[in-house]
A and B are shown apart, each in its own frame.
Chain A
Amino acid sequence: MEILMIITVGVLVSVSTYLLLTKSLLRVVLGIVLLSHAAHLLLLTMAGLKEGAPPLLGEPAEAYADPLPQALILTAIVIGFGVTAFLLVLSYRTYKEHKTDDLDQLRGSADE
């Protein structure tokens, strides 16, 4: 199962790298979204995937799953969600103001 997850992470990272290197604003945003998914999956996988054990503390159970990665991912997903929403609005405004979504045409020095 871990192997499958790692391969998924690898595919996500490579796709997001491709998207980040394209010239369209929206594709760059999608690249960031996919990269964040990859990072979250990696966080889940690196902590070890266990089956059939609840995350209990203080119960006389034989095995229990580590609840910490889930908590971390939840936090990271929420943060990623917020940043993505901000980034989408920002790219929309940039598109509206500049009348283009081509990053090549958004080059240039900062003083207009």
Chain B
Amino acid sequence: MNNLVLLPVLVPFIVGVILIFFRNQLQVQRFVSGVTSFFLVFLSIYLIYNIYQDGIITLELGSWQAPYGIVLVGDLFASIMIVFASIVAVACLFFAFQTLHPDREKYYFYPFYFFLLTGVNGSFLTGDIFNLFVFFEVMLISSFVLIVMGGKKYQLRESFKYVVISTFGSMFFIIAVALLYSVTGTLNFADLADKISQIPAEESGILTVIAILFLIVFGLKGALVPLHFWLPNSYFVPPTAVAALLGGLLTKVGVYSIMRTYTLVFTHNQDFTLNIVLILAGLTMFFGVLGAVSKFDFKRILAIHIVSQVGYMIMGLGIGTSLAIAGSIYIIGHNMIVKTALFLFCGTTEKVTGTTNLKKMSGLLKTHPYLGWLFFAAAISLAGIPPMSGFFSKFALVLAGLEEQRYFIVFVSLVVGLLTLFSMIKIFMYVFWGSPSLTPEEVKKTKIGKLLLPGIPLVIISFLMGVLAEPLFILLEAAANQMLDPSIYINSVLKE
């Protein structure tokens, strides 16, 4: 019992509610939200430190005992996710301060920003599958508002599709929960894991069906191929600060849920389920990167790249060894950081040139060298070139794949890595090489120094993650071992 684990959910929620009352005082809103976002980073680091020292922290809400009440469970995996999510949230918030139109800020941007964080942190920490649904909805409805905010024609059109598809997925979530409840009679993760391990193998067919149903539900949120079609347009339409936040956080919550349920709850028929995951991983990374290769729009390439990176994340789960899971967690964190940084640089470029179309700009390296080289650092990190963090994530996954003799998926992942490099270099060549497309007057008109500030720490973090990969992997392997041995989780929740 420790109230610490509730704070990452409660703090953004309360701050969000308070900010509603300061609708017209933009300075107050900015100050409070800036301070809170930094506070959340420190809080999450304190949380991870405590969990690393003392093991899994649980909190029974309202003191209802574990299988009956709702529990919040902070294990290493969840707390690592919260650290990265908080860092991404700070960077996007400070970018939003400078780029958002005051009208958007006044229409409750900051409250919904924090409600989104409430939903994301809650999804990471909850120990109850129905509660996961509730936090998903908190997160989704905030994301609906953030995407549609501004009410441009194309925004309305694309958000309608996004809302319908997300709600459709949520209904399937309820159906899957109903089926699971009818089979097991419980919704607590730990209790589910316990009950499912006692079901004899010949009766577990229905559980495999339910497991795949959950894979569809979470795959829709996490944008696995063939359920990724909504993502490129939905993440293209909102302002860059929002696109960076959503691109950094939302799909990862889906991936997190897949990893949580497949390592803890649905462990009965792993030969089959993990193979499906592995096949989906291969398809996702391949088709995602093909989409990126074919596009000629800065923001759109980044958006569809999210899909291909999701493939790597669940590839680690599909391989299923402790090194592979650690690699998966690493790549989720790496991707949150780097993808957000790339989106922020994309937003800066848009501010400078007024377009995201690659063919309409060139030669920015001469006029904006810092932007160019920062983008280059983030881009090679995404493509997986040492010493940036992307290399070590792929290295761990490939090594684990070779150890398990999953040669085909390793081959696919390496080809995809090459194509990722290709699409990133394509952006770099079109945007930054060639003769400058802007006149000197235009260059002087927009100052981008401040706009780069939120991105710089992210690039530095990516670099540090690469340099300090070895100590980081000690932590990640501890998290992976915690996940691969469900009895640790079950015992700390049910206290048997």
> Which residues of A come within 8 Å of B, CB atoms?
20, 25, 28-29, 32, 35-36, 38-40, 42-43, 45-48, 68-69, 72, 75-76, 79, 82-83, 86-87, 90-91, 93-94, 97-98, 106, 108-112
> In the complex, what distance in Å separates the CA atom of A36 from the CA atom of B236?
28
Stretch at the interface among B30-38, B84-92, B159-167: B159-167
Q: Known contacts A72-B130, A86-B141: does B151 contact A93 (CB below 8 Å)?
A: yes
Task: Give the residues in chain A near B236, CB-CB below 8 Å.
Answer: 110-111
13 interchain pairs (CB within 8 A)?
A20-B164, A36-B174, A68-B181, A83-B167, A90-B148, A94-B156, A94-B160, A97-B156, A110-B158, A110-B237, A110-B300, A111-B154, A111-B356
In B144-162, which residues have CB < 8 Å from any A CB?
A: 144-145, 148, 151, 153-154, 156-160
In B431-471, which residues have CB < 8 Å from any A CB?
A: none
Contact A20 B168 (CB under 8 A): yes
What residue in chain A is nearest B175 (Cβ atoms)? A39
| Min CB gap B86→A, angstroms | 26
CB < 8 Å A-B pair total: 100
Q: Known contacts A83-B137, A97-B156: does B130 contact A75 (CB below 8 Å)?
A: yes
Q: Is the interface of B mostly helix, strand, loop or mixed?
A: helix
Task: Give the residues in chain B near A32, CB-CB below 8 Å.
Answer: 164, 167-168, 171
Indicate whether B179 reaches chain A with its CB closer than 8 angstroms: yes
> In the complex, what distance in Å separates the CA atom of A82 from the CA atom of B138?
11
> In the complex, what distance in Å separates the CA atom of A93 from the CA atom of B144?
14
Q: Is the interface of A mostly helix, strand, loop or mixed?
A: helix
Contact B175 A42 (CB under 8 A): yes
| Min CB gap B54→A, angstroms | 31
Indicate whether B134 reaches chain A with its CB closer than 8 angstroms: yes
Task: Give the residues in chain A near B300, CB-CB below 8 Å.
Answer: 110
> In the complex, what distance in Å separates the CA atom of A38 from the CA atom of B171?
9
In B19-62, which residues have CB < 8 Å from any A CB?
A: none
Task: Give the residues in chain A near B141, CB-CB below 8 Å.
Answer: 82-83, 86
Contact A47 B134 (CB under 8 A): no
> In the complex, what distance in Å separates the CA atom of A98 from the CA atom of B137?
28
Chain A to chain B: the 9 pairs with minimum beta-carbon distance, closest first: A46-B182, A39-B174, A43-B178, A46-B178, A94-B156, A39-B171, A110-B233, A110-B236, A79-B137
What residue in chain B is nearest A83 (Cβ atoms)? B167
| Min CB gap B336→A, angstroms | 23
Contact A112 B177 (CB under 8 A): no
What residue in chain B is nearest A87 (Cβ atoms)? B163
Task: Give the residues in chain A near B356, CB-CB below 8 Å.
Answer: 111
- Select B177's contact among A25, A35, A72, A82, beta carbons within 8 Å: A72
| Min CB gap B163→A, angstroms | 6
Task: Give the residues in chain B near A111, CB-CB below 8 Å.
Answer: 154, 236, 297, 356
Task: Give the residues in chain B near A93, CB-CB below 8 Å.
Answer: 151, 156
Task: Give the residues in chain A near B164, CB-CB below 8 Å.
Answer: 20, 28-29, 32, 87
Q: Known contacts A79-B137, A86-B141, A90-B148: does B178 contact A25 (CB below 8 Å)?
A: no
> In the complex, what distance in Å separates the CA atom of A28 from the CA atom of B300?
27
